[in-house]
Chains A and B, each alone.
Chain A
């Protein structure tokens, strides 16, 4: 079945460092790919998305490119801030008779001032 694999955390970075959180997926067909973020004490919210190969999703300085050849959707940010400290979830929506929206295990990011 469809699945999402994320790099394990926690990831600890200094402010202004470069961030990469790896995400790979397994799916039949052409899934849509997403990154969600969960800030401390808050619910999950959509950060960015890409619906087809080579699309780049971007929001709040974060970017991710849908790479079908490597089945990846890595999250990047050029310069992280303390306020980016949160848990990041990679997700996909695939179709195999019905739509199914599944999440990875999450990667906790801690940014130090």
Chain B
């Protein structure tokens, strides 16, 4: 069990640029979640996958955001035309469960700063 891995740990970009983050869940975990966390707030749900299928997408996720999990293993989250309001910690979590989730395993996150 190597844990949930996220890359990069930190990303600084200029407004208007595109960024892509990667998440490698724990091996054989079916469920994969993306959250966004700003300072002093809890994780805000963005989207989740069951294997390669994206089952739920938050209204927070504008059309500038897109997430994929092409082979049901790693996932990418892309933000196009970044804005300063996108600055946040982006968290990935995974779970082996197919139905109700007993526990989420979180990665350390990718801290995005948009200048």
Contact = CB atoms under 8 A, between A and B. Distances in A.
Interface in A59-113: 89, 93, 95, 98-106
Contacts of A43: 91, 106-109
Given A98-B56, A103-B42, A93 B101 contact: yes
Interface string A10-30: 000000000000000000000
Q: Which of B33, B42, B48, B93 has the most CB of A within 10 A?
A: B42
A99 B100 contact: yes
B42 A46 contact: no
16 contacts: A43-B106, A43-B107, A44-B91, A44-B93, A46-B103, A49-B102, A89-B43, A99-B48, A99-B56, A99-B99, A100-B48, A101-B101, A102-B45, A103-B42, A105-B41, A106-B42
Contacts of A46: 103-104
Q: Is the interface of B mostly helix, strand, loop or mixed?
A: loop
B41 to A, nearest CB: 5
A58 interface: no
A45 B106 contact: yes
Interface of B: 33, 35, 40-45, 48, 55-56, 91, 93, 99-104, 106-109
Contacts of A45: 106
A93 B33 CA distance: 13
Contact of B100 (A32, A44, A102, A104): A32
A16 to B, nearest CB: 28
Nearest to B58: A100
Given A44-B106, A46-B103, A89-B43, A101 B91 contact: no
